């Protein structure tokens, strides 16, 4: 098992904490947790190291696949999230599945006004490397979630390929009404 206390609702989105948007440095609620999220987004080493330490305390070293929600831009082939997965898989039985969900069509970034709908993600992402998903437990990771649309879409896409289980986890949940 990925971890022993599974939620009753398979569409439940787990998160570490609240992410307060940067707002050009004008958000008084910005804190060190938000700094670590920004480190992930900017591919700075402190973010992946911090979240790898946190996730390693939660998840087993058992054999499961770790997949990430792909960037809104298909040209972005590297990311702090992929670095995080590499750290999480190093020296364990976990499997790097960062090449399983592939964004094939550009979608406007949701954080800057792009649509936040499940269909836009379903129609712009394809599933590859099915051997890493079918019949396996899968941990689906995203950096920040606001409406959960990208996570839920990716979860749906993965479910089409008969994994044993898909657990969705976002590092941060966007604060509401800020």
> Structure tokens of 81?
């999230």
At 138, the pLDDT band (50, 70, 90 cuts) reads very high
Three-state DSSP state, 41? helix
Number of H helices, E strands in the chain: 5, 7
Position 6 in a domain = no
> Structure tokens of 114?
């792009």
At 11, the pLDDT band (50, 70, 90 cuts) reads low
Position 28 in a domain = yes
Max mean pLDDT range (1-5, 26-30, 46-50, 114-118)? 46-50
What residues form DSSP beta bridges with 13? 168
pTM above 0.85, yes or no: yes
Give the whole-angstrom CA distance, residue 124 versus residue 35: 30
Position 4 in a domain = no
Q: Residue 70: which CATH number?
A: 3.40.50
Position 1 in a domain = no
Number of domains comprising the chain: 1
Residue ranges making up the domain that contains 120: 13-174
What residues form DSSP beta bridges with 144? 172
Position 8 in a domain = no
């Amino acid at each position: 098992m990925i971890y022993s206390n599974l939620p009753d609702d398979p569409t439940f989105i787990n998160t570490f904490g609240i992410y307060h948007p940067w707002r050009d440095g004008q958000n008084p609620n910005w804190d060190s947790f938000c700094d670590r999220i920004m480190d992930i987004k900017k591919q700075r080493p402190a973010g992946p190291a911090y979240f790898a330490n946190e996730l390693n305390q939660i998840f087993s070293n058992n054999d499961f696949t770790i997949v990430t929600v792909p960037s809104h831009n298909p040209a972005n082939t590297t990311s702090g999230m992929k670095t995080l997965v590499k750290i999480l898989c190093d020296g364990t039985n976990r499997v790097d599945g960062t090449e399983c969900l592939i964004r094939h069509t550009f979608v406007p970034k949701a954080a800057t006004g792009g649509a936040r709908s499940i269909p836009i993600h379903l129609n712009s992402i394809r599933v590859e490397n099915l051997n890493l998903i079918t019949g396996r437990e899968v941990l689906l990771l995203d950096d920040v979630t606001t409406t959960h649309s990208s996570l839920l879409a990716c979860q749906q896409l993965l479910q089409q390929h008969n994994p044993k289980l898909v657990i969705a986890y976002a590092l941060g949940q966007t604060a509401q009404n800020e």
